[in-house]
Amino acid sequence: MDSEKVADFPFCSERCRLLDLGNWASEKYVISQPAFDESEFEGIDASESPAEGQGRKQ
């Protein structure tokens, strides 16, 4: 299958795509593990934008 040729890629049809979306929306699917290691973000000020934190001297 090719996304340039098949509008519903990676699904076989619009029906399959909508069924999958519905399963995520109804929380039938869940991500079993965190997508990232939360310890990487310890000590970062949540109110600071990513651009503000770059180039800061310590």
Q: What is the pLDDT of residues 7-30, one digit of tens each?
A: 888 999 999 999 999 999 999 988
Q: How far apart are CA 33 and CA 44, in angstroms?
A: 22
Tally DSSP H helices, then E strands, for the chain.
2, 0
Dihedrals phi, psi of 21, to nearest 5 degrees:
-60, -45
CB 46 within 8 A of CB 37: no
Tell me what pLDDT residue 7 has.
84
Question: pTM value?
Answer: 0.47
Helices (H), 1-58: 14-25, 50-53
Query: Are the C-beta atoms of 48 and 54 separated by less than 8 Å?
Result: no
